[in-house]
């Protein structure tokens, strides 16, 4: 048995290889939440023909890339900031905004708290409740806000619960935050996977609210975590200027700049991804929801949170059972407000999803 502290992230394949003696190339990662299609054929071919781009500097303003993002998202060009992954942009925003006290809707991604603490701020969590299937209670959240808070952090859809706040609900939250001078950071890493993206995304709200910044990337939907290409959208021109002044030049390399332009215009790949994820997510959710010994929470992202309800089985045991079959899931017991009964797994190709369900069935069916 591995120890509690030895939980693995979706990118920790080298550690898995050492710990379990399984070649990382053979592992199917249901933990990384990355598009199972991999990078598109169009991108693979185009980049191969553009290698000479590394002999010159990229455009310092990344104008063409930002124009493609503008067309893809519907955001205004001047509201878009590009960066070396959304992690760089989170860090830059925290440096500029410098929150002293942040409220984080959780359980969620741990890097928000880390960056806020590194910036000298403190964090507390607004807990999503299992009794409400981790669906946000927006009315209660708004009542929790006060003038001692200067930043609200929301992952939407949320990782790891896969629940989401709607566009209409976000307006309610933003209005409440304006009363107290609270800035809102929304991480939309998984919004493109949602059954109805327009029902959830807050991009249009950046045209009306100056206390909003949205973060997105290409790691998950476009299956390009190694590319390190992310972007932020905000209608706050002062914030945009401060981030761009603080940001190092050319943090996005020439190939990533070209890749981004190709990705955001590749409609065949985008629609193929949405169809695959929507179909398989619904199929697996409906299948597992009928099982007696597990509870599923209706997903809006490309992953699902599952609670084990069988005596004598916990997340660590299920993780080990699956990894020995080359299937890597996420033990969620390290997330705030979750315990050793919770695991998370993403939607992969149909045959891989079937293999995971079979492995689950051997312990939980």
- Number of helical (H) and strand (E) elements in the chain, helices listed first: 13, 13
- Residue 25: per-residue pLDDT: 86
Q: Do 4-38+268-364 and 41-267 share a fold?
A: no
Confidence of residue 11 (pLDDT cuts 50, 70, 90): low
Report the CATH architecture of 4-38+268-364: Alpha-Beta Complex (3.90)
The whole-angstrom separation of Cα 284 and Cα 280 is: 6
H or E element in which residue 171 lies: helix 167-180
pLDDT band for position 71 (50/70/90)? very high
> Tens of pLDDT along 142-180?
999 999 999 999 999 999 999 999 999 999 999 999 999
Q: Which CATH architecture has domain 41-267?
A: 3-Layer(aba) Sandwich (3.40)
Partners of residue 305 on adjacent β-strands: 344
d(CA 2, CA 239): 45
pTM for the full predicted model: 0.95
211 contacts 183 by C-beta, under 8 angstroms: yes
d(CA 284, CA 350): 9
- Judged against a pLDDT cut of 90, whether residue 3 lies above it is answered with no
Residue 5: pLDDT band by 50, 70, 90 thresholds?
Answer: very low
Q: Within its chain, how far is the Cα of 341 from the centroid?
A: 22
For the ranges 18-32, 55-69, 162-176, the lowest mean pLDDT is seen at 18-32
Task: Encode pLDDT of 174-186 as tens digits.
Answer: 999 999 999 999 9
CA distance 109 to 186: 12
Domain ranges for the chain = 4-38+268-364, 41-267
């Amino acid at each position: 048995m591995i120890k509690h502290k030895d939980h693995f992230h979706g990118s920790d394949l080298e550690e898995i290889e050492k710990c379990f003696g399984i070649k990382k190339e053979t592992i199917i990662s249901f933990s990384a939440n990355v598009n199972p299609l991999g990078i598109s054929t169009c991108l693979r071919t185009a980049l191969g023909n553009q290698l000479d781009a590394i002999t010159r500097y990229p455009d310092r303003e990344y104008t063409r890339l930002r124009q493609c993002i503008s067309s893809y998202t519907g955001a205004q060009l001047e509201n878009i900031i590009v960066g070396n992954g959304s992690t760089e942009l989170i860090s830059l925003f925290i440096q500029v905004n410098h929150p002293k006290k942040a409220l984080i809707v959780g359980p969620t991604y741990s890097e928000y708290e880390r960056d806020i603490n590194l910036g000298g701020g403190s964090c507390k969590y607004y807990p999503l409740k299992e009794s409400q299937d981790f669906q946000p209670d927006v009315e209660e959240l708004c009542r929790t806000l006060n003038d001692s808070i200067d930043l609200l952090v929301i992952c939407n859809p949320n990782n790891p619960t896969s629940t989401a706040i709607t566009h209409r609900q976000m307006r309610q939250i933003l209005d409440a935050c304006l009363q107290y001078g609270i800035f809102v950071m929304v991480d939309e890493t998984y919004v493109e996977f949602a059954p109805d993206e327009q029902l959830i995304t807050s991009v249009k709200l950046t045209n009306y609210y100056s206390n909003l910044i949205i973060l997105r990337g290409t790691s998950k939907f476009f299956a390009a975590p190694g590319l390190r290409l992310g972007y932020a959208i905000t209608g706050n021109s002062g914030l945009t200027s401060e981030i761009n002044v603080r940001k190092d030049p050319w943090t996005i390399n020439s190939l990533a700049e070209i890749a981004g332009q190709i990705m955001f215009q590749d409609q065949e790949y985008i629609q193929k991804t949405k169809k695959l994820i929507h179909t398989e997510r619904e199929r697996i959710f409906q299948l597992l929801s009928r099982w007696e010994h597990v509870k599923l929470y209706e997903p809006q992202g490309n992953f699902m949170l599952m609670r084990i309800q069988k005596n004598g089985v916990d997340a660590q045991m299920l993780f080990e059972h699956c990894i020995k079959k080359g299937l890597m899931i996420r033990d969620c017991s390290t997330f705030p407000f979750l315990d050793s009964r919770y695991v998370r797994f993403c939607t992969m190709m149909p045959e891989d999803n079937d293999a995971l369900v079979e492995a689950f069935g051997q312990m939980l069916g």
